[in-house]
Structure 1
Amino acid sequence: MKIALVCKEYSLKKGGLERYTVSLSRELIRAGHEVHVFTNAWQEEPGVIIHHVPMLRFSSPLKNLSFALFSNRALSKMSFNVIHSMERIFYQDIFRVSDGINPVQVLQQYPNFAVRLLKAIGPRRLTLSYLEHRIFVARGCKVIMTNSKLIKGHIIEYYRVAPQKVEVIYNGVNTLRFHPGVKEEYGAAVRSKYGIKENELVLLFISNNFKLKRLQTILKSLALLKKREIKLLVVGNDSKRPYQRWVTENVLDKQVLFLGPKKNIEKYYAASDIFVLPTLYDAFANVCLEAMACGLPVITTRNNGASELIQDGEHGFVLKGQEPDELAKRIEALRFPKARTGMGEKAAKKAKEFNIERHISEVLNLYDQVRGHGYE
């Protein structure tokens, strides 16, 4: 097949959406397909044909609108079996919703009604609303692909899309890279590097958006627990300054380590005992699946699509909200190695079901259905 993938930034150095596009392109090429990527910024990738898409950078609305316009102009000059977009553009065969939808983002991020109303009528949110309306309501795609039932439900609720037009394909994990064996391979060395003792309990938090993923909730839970033998590793590319100040004020300096972004992230799963992500809203945080594959129990919220793979009390815990006391209780329940080991083994077994091969197979099946006009 001749496949077009659309993504503003095509790079492993960015967030989940961008890394997913690179991973997808590699697997599609490995399967023998011709892959074209329409993007504004990129890393070189063997076998991938790159098409530069201009983008006006003066503001977020201009970025989104100009990328949508110029992408469709470029795509219209060529013929493809499938156009698969990760971005909100005017037309695509498949639109992958991986960051949730605008009305729910506004609702979750701005609980105050007056603030929410002001944000909703601001240029950024109006632009996103316009683009989503074009896609979901004005037939801007043949089929919507999303990575959780959570997001499928939101799309149906807010945009009245027919359920059969929304396909849920869960993310896949590379089980050759992420597996329980990493603990033995890297765990001791990483813990030694950061001065972590063998008897200390290590929590891991990974995100490039500390506010959205609620790092503050974890810090407050540590303050409630008042146990110095617990360490928190914070990995990701976001400003640590406001959080570092709070950590110092609450005498948690020796417990919280801000490590910045890391390339070999499997080494940090290996050094940890529990993965914690009390996110406010996440279509499907792939770090949860990676952590499970490495044998870690996962604590996250029901507002994370990845929680659909976690049976509460079996593979970790699913929080009802972002309250520090609820999180503190769940961390306390996993203090003892026996409890963590049992959950971790079950989590790894569950994650193995959602390998990258399964994901690619389901994506290719969707491509075949689109080509066969199954979603006209």
Structure 2
Amino acid sequence: MTAGASLEPKRLRVAVLNRQFSATGGGAERYSIALVEHLAARHDIHVFAQHIDHSWPGVSYHKVAQPLKRPRWLNQLWYATATWWATRKGFDVVHSHENSWHGQVQTVHVLPVKYNLLHGLRGMQLAMRWLKIITSPRLLVYLALERSRFSLRGPRVIVLPSKTLMPQMLEAYPACAPAIEVITPGVDKVWGQATPLQKVEARRQLGLPEAGFCILFVGNDYRKKGLSTLIQALQQLPGQCFVAVVGNPAHVPVFQSQVKSKGLAQRVFFLGSLSDVTPAYQAADVLAHPTHEDTFAMVVLEAMAHGLPVVVSGERYCGIAALLTHEANAMVLEDPLAILGLSTALARLQQQPDLYRHLSDGALHFARQHQWTTLALQQDNSYRRVAQRARPQAGSCKPNL
């Protein structure tokens, strides 16, 4: 190389593992997709998925067969094996968003299986739980995959989307601490509040009432994300308040029955899955996210980027809440099951314009500090670190069994 020649970073060949590579899949899928889009210009990226609904310049897509949809644990084992075989050679980095034993970069989107099964159990309760585990092929496969996933047999980075997942991760796999880093989700840009015209047009497009106070709910698992609590809270709000529900339509029938039984059929609108949630954010006045469990909750950040005040569960239940300040940039709920707490927060936003504007401004300021253009560089650094390590490191990250 001649003196003064520019030293451009090497393009790496990166395999990304995610069974569902579609924006309608949920927060984990959108996280994976955003990283691919923002790093495609830097690296040669190959996506390995069983369901693909995405296209991006420079990205190569590889469809992984799915011989069996059920049982899920068998498909998980099949997917892990198939992607291991396909990526065992020819890649600088394998980045897995799935429970699999291979991949130098492992992004964890849910609580560890081991933590969910064994946390807080002692004595006879612990013994009975282990008896259940060793007699269940499903649980044995999930635990075996997870144990291998968090081993340090080679260069490995374990990425968490929020710090609130750290205690559970370290309880289940304490020796993994040196490999853990936090890379929170981001947004592509900060859109700002919709204009009155944009709001009306978005509501027309989605079939929502043009007038009234629209409370948006976004989530594929309606139960876990707290839709039942929101429906009950809606009963205590003025008649001009209504709820728009975006997410997996498979859950709609059960919740439609709840809505009808409470006389709210004209105030709750089920929109199904949307490949682009932007119109829903433009149509809404606030986002309600009384989730029972979320390692981060990208929908909250996305709503804030549209200038929506958000009502969200506290950090015990939702990772992003650890970064938020109550009544400064969000309304944070101590208890997501408390109907009165949720209805009161929503009523204040509907009835207090000053509070609404204050939280809208705070939301936009927060979103500007969490954009993918910066956060994707953290992931890029992780790729380069593991790719530069010439030899696998000795030792393994053994869980406390």
Task: Say yes or no: TM over 0.5.
Answer: yes
Aligned partners of 1:218, 1:188: CA distance in 2, in Å? Answer: 24
Aligned partners of 1:118, 1:264: CA distance in 2, in Å? Answer: 43
Aligned partners of 2:87, 2:204: CA distance in 1, in Å? Answer: 51
Q: 1:75 to 1:210 in 2, by over 3 A?
A: same
Match of 1:370 in 2: 386
Q: 1:118 to 1:334 in 2, by over 3 A?
A: farther
Amino acid at match of 1:131: L
Match of 2:78 in 1: 66
**Residue 280 of structure 1 pairs with residue 296 of structure 2:** no
Q: 1:264 to 1:37 in 2, by over 3 A?
A: closer
Residue by residue, what CA displacement relative to the aligned partner does 1:324-352 show, whole Å, maximum 9, x if unpaired? 12212221222222211110111111111
SS at match of 2:104: strand
SS at match of 1:172: coil
Give, in angstroms, the shift of residue 63 of structure 1.
0.7
Give, in angstroms, the shift of residue 11 of structure 1.
2.5
Q: 1:226 to 1:14 in 2, by over 3 A?
A: closer
**Residue 339 of structure 1 pairs with residue 355 of structure 2:** yes
Amino acid at match of 1:308: A
Amino acid at match of 1:350: F
Aligned partners of 2:361, 2:34: CA distance in 1, in Å? Answer: 26
SS at match of 2:380: helix
Match of 1:143 in 2: 157
Aligned partners of 1:60, 1:337: CA distance in 2, in Å? Answer: 48
In structure 2, runs of 5+ residues without a counterpart are 1-11, 120-124, 394-401
Give, in angstroms, the shift of residue 231 of structure 1.
0.9
Deviates more, 1:93-102 or 1:132-141: 132-141
Aligned partners of 2:217, 2:284: CA distance in 1, in Å? Answer: 10
**Residue 42 of structure 1 pairs with residue 52 of structure 2:** yes
Match of 1:155 in 2: 169
Please tell me whether the aligned partners of residues 237 and 347 of structure 2 are also in contact (alpha carbons under 8 angstroms): no
Please tell me whether the aligned partners of residues 157 and 179 of structure 2 are also in contact (alpha carbons under 8 angstroms): yes
Please tell me whether the aligned partners of residues 214 and 322 of structure 1 are also in contact (alpha carbons under 8 angstroms): yes
Amino acid at match of 2:230: I
Which of 225, 234, 242 aligns to 1:231? It is 242
Aligned partners of 2:115, 2:267: CA distance in 1, in Å? Answer: 34
**Residue 170 of structure 1 pairs with residue 184 of structure 2:** yes
Aligned partners of 2:291, 2:248: CA distance in 1, in Å? Answer: 16
SS at match of 2:320: helix
Match of 2:106 in 1: 95
Match of 2:33 in 1: 22
Amino acid at match of 1:255: R
**Residue 321 of structure 1 pairs with residue 332 of structure 2:** no
Amino acid at match of 2:22: S
| TM-score calculated relative to the size of structure 1 | 0.88
SS at match of 1:4: strand
Give, in angstroms, the shift of residue 164 of structure 1.
2.8
Aligned partners of 1:276, 1:120: CA distance in 2, in Å? Answer: 37
Match of 1:262 in 2: 274
SS at match of 1:334: helix
Which of 321, 324, 331 aligns to 1:310? It is 324
Residue by residue, what CA displacement relative to the aligned partner does 1:302-327 show, whole Å, maximum 9, x if unpaired? 21112123211211122222221221
Residue by residue, what CA displacement relative to the aligned partner does 1:160-203 show, whole Å, maximum 9, x if unpaired? 1343311000101011xx511434462122335645354x3221
Larger radius of gyration: 2
Match of 1:196 in 2: 209
Please tell me whether the aligned partners of residues 183 and 269 of structure 1 are also in contact (alpha carbons under 8 angstroms): no
Residue by residue, what CA displacement relative to the aligned partner does 1:98-150 show, whole Å, maximum 9, x if unpaired? 23322455589xxxx89x95996344333222211112246476110111001
Which of 86, 96, 99 aligns to 1:85? It is 96
**Residue 9 of structure 1 pairs with residue 45 of structure 2:** no
Residue by residue, what CA displacement relative to the aligned partner does 1:227-257 show, whole Å, maximum 9, x if unpaired? 2121111111232112111111111122211
Please tell me whether the aligned partners of residues 170 and 176 of structure 2 are also in contact (alpha carbons under 8 angstroms): yes
Please tell me whether the aligned partners of residues 237 and 343 of structure 2 are also in contact (alpha carbons under 8 angstroms): no
SS at match of 1:92: coil
TM-align CA RMSD:
2.6
Higher relative contact order (CA 8 A, sep 6+): 2
**Residue 330 of structure 1 pairs with residue 342 of structure 2:** no
Of all paired residues, the percent bearing the same amino acid is 27
Deviates more, 1:364-373 or 1:341-350: 364-373
Match of 2:231 in 1: 219
Q: 1:152 to 1:141 in 2, by over 3 A?
A: farther
Please tell me whether the aligned partners of residues 307 and 364 of structure 2 are also in contact (alpha carbons under 8 angstroms): yes
Residue by residue, what CA displacement relative to the aligned partner does 1:68-105 show, whole Å, maximum 9, x if unpaired? 112112111x2222111111111211100123322455
Match of 1:358 in 2: 374
Aligned partners of 2:267, 2:159: CA distance in 1, in Å? Answer: 41
SS at match of 1:42: strand
